[in-house]
Chains A and B, each alone.
Chain A
Amino acid sequence: MNRLESVLEELAHDAPRPTPHPELWDRGRRLRRRDRVVRGGLVLVMVLLVGGLASFVTARPALVAPAGDVAPDGAIPSRIEDPGSDLEPETDLATGGASVAFVSTSGTAVVIGATDGRYHALDLPGFSADDPGVVALSPDGYHLAWSTQERVDSVDLRTGEVVGLVPHGGHGADVTELAWTYDSARITYQGTFDGQAVAGSIEPTGPSEVEIPVERTLATGLSSPTRGIVALPTGSDRTFARFERVARPAEQAQKDLRSDEGVPLRRQLPPDLYPGGASTRPLGWATGSLVVAQADGPSGSYVEGQHLVLFTSPDRPESEWTFRILVRDLPDATPVSIAVDLVPDLDGTSSQQLTHDFASHDAGLPAGVRWGGTALAALGVLLAAYLLRRREQRRPGRLTA
């Protein structure tokens, strides 16, 4: 032993005598129990954060309404989204009344439940995702019509029963347009057969068919319930929506399609919304004088892109004219079909809600909120991991100076 060791040994004799606290063991065990609780809590927090983080980042906005969020009488949803290929097609077509129907970008027919906002991808007989036809929802939302190669079929969404026929007198047609009459009783179609344009009106419950001369506006437009007005589609960048007054009452015009009288009418689109005009495609009559249409505002419009609008027909006095935007940002890929009977009667106030926000706290979070929340969750995971590691490192064996 060198002298330093000797001196240190002597110095150590000045150390106090040990007097260990009698409760050392109990105190240590209490700390151990607390460690277990804290560690378990941190692990739980990490698991929840990781799970929440994963679902928050990866999950698409749910296309299902939250439990309990229903519109008992049915409503048009305030947001319509394309589910793409996320939905598994359902073979049970009895999904109940629908508010919206369209063909998704994956080629699947999609309907949205009228009372719950739930999305359904339907496995329609003969409907091919590779070469999808067109779909049309009846104004009352209970029937969905679709076209396949040379056929037109419809299903009663309450029962799942399917009826249909081969149009154009059984010869078949390549159907490009489908629409329901205002009373949800008949389907009108447009298409081609051997390169020739054809049109007709089908009573699906029959089924039976009445052919329509293609030059008649009834072949391309939607007749109003009462006033003999037909709403017609327009091309791009028009400053007005097209209508035609038929010479006879609508009911007679339906039965006797030989009349070729018609008076063109125009409904000016609001120039402040569409300074460069827009295209409009009527989807149905919500009332005898209110039309629901799909509008496409070009760049520079107040509302750009595909959206749903409601406006008064031009046969009404200007004092009664109204123009409302129902749903913005429609899926680009396909025209939508609306159960226009679900549009409520106007109460004359501009604040009236004409649609229902089914998934207000579940879907459609802004991207900034989603990513900000993701970052916070990630920080929480890192913090929890750091705290766990710090607790482990506090155990002796790691000295830094």
Chain B
Amino acid sequence: MRGSNDRDRVAFDEFVAARSGALLRSAWLLTGDHHLAEDLVQHALMQVARHWERISTSPEAYARRTMHHQHISLWRKRRFTETSWGSHDAAQPATDPDLRLSVTEALARLTPKQRAVLVLRFFEDLTEAQSAAVLGVSVGTVKSSTRQALSRLRVLAPDLADLVGVES
């Protein structure tokens, strides 16, 4: 059981100062939109404050789970056509030599779950089991979603064919 309200508040403030940057970077990769990313992180941090006494794992793990959960909920409400990065489903010709733009555009065309597993596995460097725990799905689902995400990246941006290689 955590301490008094003042100690809890201090601990919370320290956590926010230390980890909100990392959370915001993940949120940015998930959404591709500054405002959406900030909203996602603010919401996650407020939920951490709301359930501070009941968090048995680390606050950061709780915040990441909240963020991913909220991201998928928001995506369901707004649907794919409203994301800021466009909605084409077909593979785009690699006209832009800038690889970052290609990856950006390709990421935008993944499903929220596929994007989430890529961010968790390849940006946050979590294992399949850790990623499954964050997303609340099975390890098998993480594996299949990762495979689907990488295959889709190859289809959408053929230049990425040598980018992903073998799954780590």
List residues of chain A with CB under 8 Å of any chain B CB: 2-5, 7-12, 14-21, 24-25, 27-29, 31-32, 35, 395-401
Contacts and interface: CB of A to CB of B under 8 A. Distances in A.
B111 A401 contact: yes
Given A4-B164, A396-B47, A397-B65, A19 B38 contact: yes
* 5 interchain residue pairs of minimum CB distance: A28-B49, A396-B65, A15-B28, A18-B20, A396-B66
Nearest to A14: B28
Contact of B29 (A11, A16, A24, A398): A11
Nearest to A8: B123
Contact residues of B: prevailing secondary structure: helix
Given A21-B42, A25-B9, A401-B72, A16 B34 contact: yes
B50 A20 contact: no
B125 interface: yes
Contact of B49 (A4, A29, A397): A29
Nearest to B150: A4
B155 interface: no
Interface residues of B, number: 57
13 contacts: A3-B162, A4-B103, A11-B100, A15-B25, A18-B20, A19-B38, A25-B49, A28-B45, A28-B49, A397-B65, A398-B69, A399-B65, A399-B137
A28 B122 CA distance: 31
Nearest to A16: B34
A22 to B, nearest CB: 9
Interface in B1-45: 5, 9, 12-13, 16-17, 20-21, 23-29, 34, 37-38, 41-42, 45
B13 A25 contact: yes
A395 B52 CA distance: 12
B97 interface: no
A3 B21 contact: no
B51 A32 contact: yes
B69 to A, nearest CB: 5
Contact of A28 (B17, B27, B50, B125): B50
B137 A28 contact: no
Contacts of B62: 396
Given A16-B38, A35-B50, A396-B62, A25 B12 contact: yes
